[in-house]
Every structure is written in C-alpha cells, then in structure tokens.
C-alpha cells in the first residue's frame, strides 16, 4: 500500500500529467486536492494526446477511481465538456468520478469577476487563466460560496447565485450591463450543475476506506510551488495552496497518511502569465527552449516564458514540500544546446527573503551533450554530460532524482 503525492515544483506545467499517468498503473484511487480548470495536464498514450483540467489524470487508467477533492473549485460546465471528451475515447468513467460534497462551485459569475478584475488591474494584471478560480476561492473564504452538496437542490442554488450576483453588482464588481448575458449563462450552468450532481459523494469517508484497506492512492497536484498563494511569487500566484502542506486539508486526511512526495521539475524553467522570473531568457536561447519544448499553455494556449533551471527556488521548493523523490522532465528539450546554465545563487540576497523581482541570478555553466536522448531507457546509457547535469541538479536540490522523462509518451521514462 502506498500514498504517493505528485506535485509541481516550479511555476506549473512541469509535466505532472505525464508523471501521474506513468506512475498510476497500480493506483486504485487518484485524487486532486486543489485548483480547478486552471490546470492543464497533458497525457500522451500512443499517438493520442489528452488534456485534462479538472478530472484527475488517473481517469485514463481503467481501474482507478478519481476524487475531485474538497479543496478544489469545480466548474460544472467545463467538467461536463471534459467528461464528454474522455468518454468519446471509449472509456467508461461515470462510475469512477467522485466529486467531494464539500468542494466549491465555480459559476459564470466567478469567471466574469476574474475577467473584470484583470481588466481593472491593467498593466499590473496577474495574467490569470480567467477560469474564475480567484473569485470562487474568495467567495469560499468569505463564506458566500456554493458547495457541491447543494447542487442536488437546484432551486436553492438559483436563489444563492442570484443573491451572490446582486451582492457583486451592488459592490460594483460587475457592471449592470453584464447582467443580461450572465443571466443567460446561468441557465447553462444550472443545467450542467444538475447533470454533475450525480457525481457528488462523501469522498472523505471514501479515501479513509481506501487507506484502511491498504490500497494504492495517488495524489495529483496542480499548478506549482512558486504559484502557491502563501509560498509563491505573491501576488503573481494562483489562489490556492499548491504545496504538500495542503494535501491534508484538500482531501481530509492526516499528514501521517502521506508516505511519499514526488516533486516534478522541468529540466529548465517556464512560466505563463505575469510575475517575476529571475532566470528568464529573452534571447535566442529562450526562443529555442520555447520552440523545441512546444511551450504553449495547455489551458490558455499562451506562449510560455522560458529560462534556465533555477536551483535557488528549486531547493526552496524541495525544502517546503519535503520531496522524497524527484521526476525531471523534458530533458530531451536540451539536446541541441552547446552549453547549459543552472542558477545556483542570487548575487544580491538570500532566498527566501529577497524579492524575486530584484534577484540577480548567478550561474554555473555545464557542457551540453548534443545528441538525441529520447530513445534512451537506462540511466547508464545517457551521454556522460547528461548524467553530469542530472547529478548536479540532484546535488543542488538535495533530493534524489528517481525518474527522468525524455519525451511526451508513457514509455519515454528512465528510472534511476
Ligand atoms: P502539467 O500541467 O504539469 O501536467 O504539464 P503540461 O501538460 O501543462 O505541460 C507539459 C508539456 O510537456 C505537455 O505538452 C507534455 O506532453 C510535455 N512533456 C511532458 N514530459 C515531457 C518530456 O519529457 N519531453 C517532452 N519533450 N515533452 C514532455
Ligand atoms: P498546471 O496544473 C501554469 C497561473 C496563471 C497565472 C496565475 C493565476 O497545468 O501546472 P489563476 O487562473 O490560477 O488565477 O492564474 O497562475 N497558472 C498556471 N500556470 N500551470 C498551471 O496549472 C496554472 N494554473 C494557473 O497563468 O499566472
Ligand atoms: Mg499544465
């Protein structure tokens, strides 16, 4: 029996979906504990690519039950679309989807609030995914939210959403001119809500039954450590805690129930949206990483910003999550480079403490390997310079690197 958590260690899009897919073969249960449709987790099986936003990646494994935990914010309209996409692949999934009765619900009002807040921020906009995540978590914390357990009584949802709309109109958060469009969108929302209400479940009792009966549980993080609302590059973060510490509150389990915490690191760094990024490359190498890595957001299709591996924030991420193991992804993207840099220090201050906007990175330079590694399956068969790069990261992160991903597909993985 094992309870393994797989978490993003940088600014999201590290390849969590692929790693969850690889490691979920023997999982009886796969659970998400935070975030919502802002996530975009890509899984490639054979020639077919699937992008999941709210459904845990275990949904593509026929035997795994999937929990959308109480710490998530669920968008019924988006979820229904996603369910249809997965079903069209011939998978039977209805009986395996379990939405926590305590999860909060994203409504069209939250998406509109997300958009208007971004417009209001102007040049200081966060660059959110506009999926309504921040406003939904805000309403949760200010005790005005709608929980999944309420979806069964659609009349009371209608009442609650109408009063929520009136509240935000009165506060000037939403313009009166938007009201007719929203009222129309609410109809689609009520319809979707009714349809997903059949998936609502007491997932707390369920996960504890799995723990008691020694079954394999995999916990799938979304976003990444530097997007955590407390520990990330605030305010350029998401609105949930993405780190290991939130697994327990997002699922209703104890810290003693989690055995292993695997951090997923990309072999370089990317970030979508605004905010500090000390090792960002605004040059030909940055363009090279972006093009070779096909670095476009899986949810918003925005171009991802690219830069060198930042071992300063990496070490911090390992420390606060307590990673027991690391999966290093997209190493193949570095194949063509003559030299590869790693940021090992900030010249002008210690992190955490220094404002990331001000950080001046200091680099070490390692030689590239200039050969194709995507077909390699054994660590010993990797070029010597590739092994040197991996070993250096392991030393800097003070955590073993147990998995190395060298391509998008399930089989393109090396266990070390
Ligand atoms: P997630 O949000 O952490 O699940 O990551 P995304 O799915 O948003 O982005 C990762 C992207 O990299 C996806 O397009 C994956 O198919 C792709 N990917 C994952 N691992 C590898 C790898 O080792 N090599 C390459 N070239 N692509 C990878
Ligand atoms: P996965 O799970 C990368 C970023 C957004 C924005 C900030 C706040 O695929 O790794 P939000 O919509 O959450 O309020 O946006 O967070 N962001 C992500 N970046 N991967 C993600 O998820 C992200 N989810 C949110 O781009 O900068
Ligand atoms: Mg993603």
Quote the pTM value: 0.98
**Domain boundaries, position 71:** 3-100+202-260
How do residues 173-215 score in pLDDT, each as one tens digit? 999 999 999 999 999 999 999 999 999 999 999 999 999 999 9
Residue with tokens 């549980």: 217
Which CATH number covers residue 124?
1.10.300.10
Question: Where a domain ends, among 178, 197, 216?
Answer: 197
How do residues 204-260 score in pLDDT, each as one tens digit? 999 999 999 999 999 999 999 999 999 999 999 999 999 999 999 999 999 999 999
Instruction: Say if 326 falls within a structural domain.
Output: no
95 in the same domain as 210? yes
Provide the token pair at 169: 């109109």
Q: How many domains is the chain partitioned into structurally?
A: 2
Q: How are the residues of the chain apportioned to helix, strand and coil, as percentages rounded to the nearest 5? A: 40, 20, 40
| 310: β partners | 343
How do residues 64-92 score in pLDDT, each as one tens digit? 999 999 999 999 999 999 999 999 999 99
Q: Is 41 a catalytic residue?
A: yes
* DSSP H helices in 105-246: 108-121, 133-141, 154-170, 179-196, 203-212
Rounded distance between C-alpha atoms, residue 397 and residue 410, angstroms: 25
Catalytic residue among 21, 41, 139, 168: 41
- Check residue 239 and give its pLDDT: 98
- Give 111's contacts (C-beta < 8 A, 6+ positions apart): 75, 130, 131, 132, 135
* DSSP H helices in 200-278: 203-212, 247-251
91 in the same domain as 43? yes
Q: Is 214 a catalytic residue?
A: no
* pLDDT of 1 over the 80 cut: no
Instruction: Say if 220 falls within a structural domain.
Output: yes
- Check residue 369 and give its pLDDT: 98
399 neighbors 325 (Cβ within 8 angstroms): yes
Instruction: Say if 310 falls within a structural domain.
Output: no
How do residues 161-178 score in pLDDT, each as one tens digit? 999 999 999 999 999 999
Question: Where a domain ends, among 237, 260, 283?
Answer: 260
225 in the same domain as 90? yes
Report the share of the chain in percent with pLDDT over 70: 100
- Cα-only R_g, the chain: 21
Residues with CB under 6 A from ligand 1: 8, 12-18, 40-42, 44, 298, 329-330, 332-333, 405-408
- Check residue 299 and give its pLDDT: 86
* pLDDT of 300 over the 90 cut: no
* DSSP H helices in 32-132: 76-87, 108-121
Residue nearest to atom 21 of ligand 2 (CA): 223
Rounded distance between C-alpha atoms, residue 370 and residue 265, angstroms: 21
């Amino acid at each position: 029996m094992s309870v393994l958590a797989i978490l993003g260690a940088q600014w999201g899009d590290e390849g969590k979906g692929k790693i969850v897919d690889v490691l979920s073969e023997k999982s009886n249960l796969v659970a998400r504990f935070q975030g919502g449709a802002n996530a975009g987790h890509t899984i490639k099986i054979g020639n077919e690519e699937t992008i999941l936003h709210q459904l845990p990646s275990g949904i593509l494994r026929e035997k795994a039950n999937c929990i959308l935990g109480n710490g998530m914010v669920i968008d019924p309209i988006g979820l229904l679309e996603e369910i249809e996409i997965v079903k069209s692949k011939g998978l039977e999934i209805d009986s395996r989807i379990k939405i926590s009765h305590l999860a909060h619900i994203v409504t069209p009002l939250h998406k509109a609030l997300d958009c208007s807040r971004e417009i209001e921020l102007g040049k200081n906009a966060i660059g959110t995914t506009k999926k309504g995540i921040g406003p939904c978590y805000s309403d949760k914390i200010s005790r005005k939210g709608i929980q999944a357990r309420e979806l069964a009584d659609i009349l009371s949802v209608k009442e609650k959403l109408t009063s929520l709309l009136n509240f935000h109109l009165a506060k000037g958060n939403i313009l009166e001119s938007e009201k007719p469009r929203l009222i129309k969108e609410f109809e689609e929302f009520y319809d979707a809500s009714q349809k997903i209400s059949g998936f609502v479940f007491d997932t707390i009792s369920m996960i504890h039954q799995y723990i008691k009966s020694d079954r394999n549980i995999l916990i799938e993080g979304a976003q990444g450590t530097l997007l955590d609302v407390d520990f990330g590059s605030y305010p350029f973060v998401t609105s949930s805690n993405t780190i290991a510490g939130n697994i327990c509150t997002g699922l209703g389990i104890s810290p003693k129930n989690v055995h292993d915490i695997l951090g997923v690191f990309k072999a370089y760094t990317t970030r979508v949206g605004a905010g500090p990024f000390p090792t960002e490359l605004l040059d030909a190498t940055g363009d090279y990483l972006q093009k070779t890595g096909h670095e476009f957001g899986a949810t918003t299709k925005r171009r991802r910003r690219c830069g060198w591996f930042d071992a300063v924030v990496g070490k911090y991420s390992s420390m606060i999550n307590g990673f027991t193991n690391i999966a290093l992804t997209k190493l193949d993207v570095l194949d063509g480079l003559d030299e590869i840099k790693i940021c090992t220090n900030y010249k002008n201050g210690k992190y955490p403490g220094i404002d990331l906007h001000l950080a001046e990175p200091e680099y070490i330079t390692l030689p590239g390997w200039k050969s194709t590694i995507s077909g390699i399956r054994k660590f010993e068969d990797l070029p010597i310079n590739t092994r040197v790069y991996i070993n250096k990261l392991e030393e800097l992160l003070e955590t073993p690197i147990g998995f190395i991903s060298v391509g998008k597909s399930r089989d393109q993985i090396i266990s070390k």
